[in-house]
Structure 1
Amino acid sequence: MSFENLGLIEPLLKAVHEAGYSTPTPIQAQAIPAVLGGGDLLAGAQTGTGKTAGFTLPLLHKLMTSPAASAAGGKRHVRALILTPTRELAAQVEESVRIYSKYLPIRSAVMFGGVGMNPQIEALRRGLDVLVATPGRLLDHHQQGTLDLSHVEYFVLDEADRMLDMGFIHDIRRVLAILPPKKQSLLFSATFSDEIKALAERLLNSPKVIEVARRNATAETIAQKIHPVDRDRKRELLTHLIKSNNWHQVLVFTRMKHGANRLVEYLLKQDVTAMAIHGNKSQSARTRALAEFKSGELQVLVATDIAARGIDIDQLPHVVNFELPNVPEDYVHRIGRTGRAGAEGEAISLVCVDEEGFLADIEKLIKRSIPRETIAGYEPDPHARPEPILLGRRVLHGAPGSRSGSGGSSGRSGSGGGGGGHRGGQGGGAPRQHSGQGQASHGNGGGARPAQGQPQDLRAPRRTEAANSGPLSSPPPRRVRG
């Protein structure tokens, strides 16, 4: 199947082909006709499947083929609203809109917090067709009377599962109360939890359901491996793996923001270039880290789960779980950063005795056993006993047979090297963020062209600018080859 078979208008097809794509991915092949058909949609798709184009292309088609009702003075009104959980993802989605609408008279903008509101207000005054936003900043504008959503005809809730993980459910309900009752609504989620189903019942009207991968499955193109190691030797082992294998472009996950910072400090002392990306970093620092990582200048990017959403890199070869997540679904999201769009990737987890229970939960979720390989010189102590893991003010018990969400105090939870998530800030899970959200607006003509290439299918284009304009600007990253 080609994009020509999906019924999209010629200007969209021209932009898609200029981006180097000809064959739709499975989610695109199913979602595009469903959206064009006019009904609500509940779509399940893992990261890296091309879901962004699955909704941006048909929305742009409908905006052009179904003219807006005439407005006083000919002012544009927001007709399509796309809500995303993070700044990075919002910027990437809006860039997709710009790239695909290159030959269309469409005006779009991205809005999130952490930056001034005045440029965003000016973009709204000039008029928009498509608005991509995070929940907090969207509600800020509505409360200040600078945003009119009464003309919205199409609403997309992207990465709904992460929205709920980040505690945005109340903000989502507030947004739904603002939007017109008559609209086409699309909900995209990597997993279909009971909470997602409840949200879908509230948002969607007799939706068509699409699920392109089995629930909570991991991609077959990802080679998964466990390296057992003592908690206080994780940093040494990670450095050994990076140097002995000559790894470049390694995405490393920690549970907590301060754990990410301390790991970066250690790696830098070992002459490994590394930066951290998490909610406490400024937008400029996050943008810089992501741009340098994409370009290959930065060897290791250390991230928390929330900050990693929106990282979109072709052929990312290595993902390392420095600490296993206490939520099994987060493992699927993490390793989904590699092995994307048919490329091969490697996902390695450094697991200490404290995390064996987390590992068992993950293997149960993905319905497979992950191979174990002990690295010579880093064999774990067979007599080591599991210790509780500090998660902020919570105490997790990740040992087999333990419940992973208990309260109470842990006594001593030491980790000289910050490996298992204990003393020294290595433990815990990424705290919830609210409104973590910049701005940029763009008209149609002269949209930035993405880096050229011939990938087999169409995913959200790589950001041709690290972000769009104003406070997000940085030099365009070079195309990364695995």
Structure 2
Amino acid sequence: EDSSDSSSDDSSDGSSSESDSDEDTEVTVEETPEDNMDIDSENSQAPEELQPIDAKHAIYLDKFKNVAEKLQLSIFKTEKRERAQAILGETKDESSDADEDANTVKAGLIPFAQPAELLGDQDITNSNKNKDNFKSTLKWFVDPIYVSNAERIPFSTLGLHAKVLKNLTRNGFVESFAVQTAVLPLLLKDIRNISPDKRSDILANAATGSGKTLAYVVPIVESLIDRVVPRTRAIIILPTKVLIQQVRQVFEMISSGFGLNILTLRSERAFKDEQDVLTRFKPDVVICTPGRLVDHLRSGTEGLKNLHKDLKWLVIDEADRLLNQSFQEWVDVIINAIEKNTNTNTNTTNNETNNSANNDSIISTIDRRWKTSVQKLIYSATLTRDPGKLSGLKIHEPKVIIVADNDIMNDKEFTVPESLSENLVPIKSSSVKPLHLFELIWQENLTSDVLIFTNSNESAARLTRLLNIMQDMVYGLSETTSAATATTEQNGSAARKRILREFSKGQINIVVGTDLIARGLDIASIRHVINYDLPTSKREYVHRVGRTARANHEGRAWSLACSRSEHKWFWKISNSIHR
């Protein structure tokens, strides 16, 4: 009976649970988990995955379970938070939309203002559009003064001092070249003007060998003829030591008989000794590289402390190369030293003059106020056309002088001497380039006054050795024909000077070098230039071939080109140069 009652009770419970589950399955499961477990335990077997597992796997299983539980909990919380935010956001957006619409000023899609096109190293006078844009701000730049190569005037008509004119005539200078014809009248007029108003700076672009050095040496010497107390009145900044010596020779030639103190600053001399020389010697003219001058200015060398008071001339020769150098930030250092604000010393000066007579105070005041400005003279055969590079020099109302015809320079970047003849030597393979060079020397009889350019010191040294070995053995050239390397790596400064001196005298027939000697090397006897390696820039090509055909003498240049790319590069250079 008990069993029948229990079975009936069970059946009744089962029917009732089934009816309840039909109505609400979730509630039934939550309220009677034990009954379900009983039913499952009685009517079914445990699933296979719930069977006991090995102890070594139990740890990993627990870890996976924990990770799964945490992931499920995270998903649940995220969904719950998103639902809450969505409910709150709807009501908030409805209430704030009206306020935002009222306070927001709607604007159209207007593009940002674009910066003006940056000027690179290009001729901005080529474009009429550029002319209009820069006419008001850079009128001096877009409207330069053009001077024809044929312009000549006798030095005797310029009103030069008798001794200066005598020195010029004694050295064979009777008429001025084009750049001198344009520059000298402007500078000589400013020399005779004692007004403290700022004088216009000069930017001159002329071909190599056109007499740019004499164009600034003559006016500087003229301005120093009547000087009484030696002070540093002129600084000439040059890129190489070779140029320093050449410019010094020109100064000594023109200033002969005036007793001017001319000093060159160079790294061969001990820095301390050079400081002592500047203090004792008190030079009128200082010729140097920018790095050496910066060293003295930063060290407070006594002889260069008062440049802001004494200096009258600042010359930057080969300006394009110097302005491309950022070594020691030389432009900022030198310009700041020259244009130092003297107001910072006003209080000290006043305190000192209070103890002196009234007339000394008046003289001191006049001396501070009545001061002529520094006139900057900037020269190059390939003068940069980038105003950004010139801005650091703080040039004042400059006059730009270009030695060329106006219609020519409108579509050409550079010029080379009219008396220069240029030739291209095509070569099929670089492996036979030395043989083609020897053949060129033999066929054209280039046995003297030849300057050969390579792109590296190593190449120059190898080529020199080949020339000396092959010239007599293969081609039967004269025993007097010799070649030498004029590079910094192979020779010291003294040896390089000796080689160039012997080359100018004809004792050495062929000199092989790099672009280091392509700037300013002035040897009138050079008749042939060979580009064994093509230069890497148009500027360097102009300076290389400009070592010949100087001062209206005839000269020839050859360029060896191997690959198709070298041929294209040569013609690109050629098309950018006026001849």
Same fold (TM over 0.5): yes
Call closer, same or farther: CA 1:241–1:85 in 2, change over 3 Å. Answer: same
The equivalences for 1:42-441 within 5 A come to 42-65=203-226, 67=227, 76-124=230-278, 125-146=280-301, 147-148=303-304, 149-150=307-308, 151-168=310-327, 170-180=329-339, 182-195=373-386, 198-199=389-390, 202-213=393-404, 214=409, 215-229=413-427, 230-247=429-446, 248-271=448-471, 273-280=482-489, 281-353=491-563, 354-366=565-577
Q: TM-score, normalised by structure 2?
A: 0.59
CA distance in 1: counterparts of 2:436 and 2:326, whole angstroms = 34
Per-residue displacement from partner, 1:325-368 (whole Å, max 9, x unpaired)?
12112111111111111111100011111512321320231268
CA-based RMSD: 2.1
**1:308 Cα shift?**
2.4
Distance 2:558 2:186 in 1: 37
Deviations 1:137-188 (A, max 9, x none): 1122223332413421111011101213455582233222221363111111
What displacement does 1:119 show? 4.9
Which residue identity lines up with residue 216 of structure 1 in the other structure? F
Tell me by how many angstroms 1:242 deviates: 1.9
> Counterpart amino acid of 1:356?
H
Gaps of 5+ in 2: 1-152, 191-199, 341-372, 472-480
Change (3 A) 1:160 1:18: same
Q: Indicate conservation of the 8 Å contact 1:163/1:169, yes or no.
A: no
State the alpha-carbon separation in 2 of the partners of residues 122 and 171 from structure 1.
Answer: 23
* Identity %, equivalent residues: 33
Aligned-pair CA distance for 1:315: 4.0
CA contact (8 A) 1:154 1:183 kept: yes
8 Å contact 1:250–1:299 — kept in the other structure?
yes
After TM superposition, the score normalised by the length of structure 1 is 0.71
Residues of 2 paired with 1:260 and 1:31: CA distance?
38
Greater shift in the superposed pair: 165-174 or 220-229: 165-174
**SS of residue matched to 1:194:** coil
Contact 1:249 1:317 in 2 (8 A): yes
- Indicate the SS of the match to 2:421: strand
State the alpha-carbon separation in 2 of the partners of residues 337 and 293 from structure 1.
13
On the 8 A contact 2:312/2:375 being kept in 1, the answer is: yes
Three-state SS of the structure 1 residue aligned to 2:414 is coil
Unaligned 5+ runs, structure 1: 69-73, 369-482
Instruction: Check conservation: 2:261, 2:285, Cα contact below 8 A.
Output: yes
Structure 1 CA distance for aligned equivalents of residues 385 and 550 of structure 2: 27
Partner amino acid for 2:184? I
Matched, 1:14 2:213: no
Q: Give how far 1:118 is off.
A: 4.9
Partner AA of 2:482 in structure 1: T
Larger-Rg structure: 2
Count of matched residue pairs: 361
CA–CA separation in structure 1 for the residues paired with 2:440 and 2:426? 13
In structure 2, relative to structure 1, the CA distance for the partners of 1:193 and 1:143 (3 Å cut) is closer
Structure 2 vs 1, CA of residues 169 and 317 (structure 1 numbering), >3 Å: closer, same or farther? farther
Secondary structure in 2 matching 1:157: strand
2:236–2:286 contact (8 Å) kept in structure 1: yes
Alpha-carbon offset, residue 191 of structure 1: 1.9
Selected match of 2:181 from 29, 39, 49: 29
Structure ranking higher in helix proportion: 2
Quick one: distance in 2 between partners of 1:261 and 1:288? 17
